[in-house]
Amino acid sequence: MHTTFVDMITIISGTNRNGNHSIKLAHYVKQVFQGMTDEPIELLDLCILKGPLLVGGDYAQDDQSPQVRDLQDQFILPAEKFYFVVPEYNGSFPGILKFFLDACSVREYGRTFSGKKAAILGVSSGRAGNLRGMDHLTGILNYLNVTVMPNRLPVSSIKGLIMDDQIDDPATLQAIRQQVEDFHQF
């Protein structure tokens, strides 16, 4: 299947942990984008990755799992920009996101990442907003020839910002809205 590059933005909720708060932020980001552009906005929730993923075939083009191939074709290849919402896991970002980036890089390497742009929103229950994880992800994306917007946004103490499954902090909502607006112009 040959996928055509379009002016699409893919928002990636970078964890497969059930009940995570990143997806709530990702939904808000999607809502903000939809209010400012007619461009297609897609949301990829890595919670949909299921089954035995860590097998040798995921790192070989001819043996790439059909699940990863389908997600790459739908969400990654046609995107012009990626907006990552990444929680802090052990001082970095979740391994499932690294696995997914690695697994996508074995097929259509240049068309998958090269020349595209990204924004990163870090999420943590602590005080640092996943600063180290955003640094790690920036390094990986730069290696893949993705230009990362310098305005990376750390969101700290996430549990205190959520009420009734919604973000309940005007300052955080405004900071996210500003980052989305900046990224749209980036």
Question: Which domains occur in the chain, in start order?
Answer: 8-185 (3.40.50.360)
Residues (pLDDT < 50) of the chain are: 1-3
Note whether 84 and 137 are within 8 A (CB): yes
Q: In terms of Cα–Cα distance, which of 166, 134, 170 is closest to 28? A: 166
Note whether 92 and 136 are within 8 A (CB): yes
Which residues face 119 on adjacent strands? 83
Q: What is the mean pLDDT of the chain?
A: 90
Model confidence pLDDT, tens digit, residues 130-139: 999 999 999 9
Q: In terms of Cα–Cα distance, which of 66, 68, 69, 73 is closest to 2? A: 73
Cα separation, 49 vs 136, whole angstroms: 22
Provide the pLDDT for residue 65: 80
Note whether 44 and 79 are within 8 A (CB): no
Provide the pLDDT for residue 130: 94
Q: Which residue in this structure is represented by tokens 């068309």?
A: 111
In the structure encoding, which two tokens stand for residue 129, read together? 């907003």
Provide the pLDDT for residue 53: 58
Provide the pLDDT for residue 98: 95
Three-class SS of the chain? CCCCCCCEEEEEECCCCCCCCHHHHHHHHHHHHHHHCCCCEEEEEHHHCCCCCCCHHHHCHHHCCHHHHHHHHHHHCCEEEEEEEEECECCECCHHHHHHHHHHCCCCHHHHHCCCEEEEEEECCCCCCCHHHHHHHHHHHHHCCCEECCCCEEECCHHHHEECCEECCHHHHHHHHHHHHHHHHC
pTM, two decimal places: 0.92
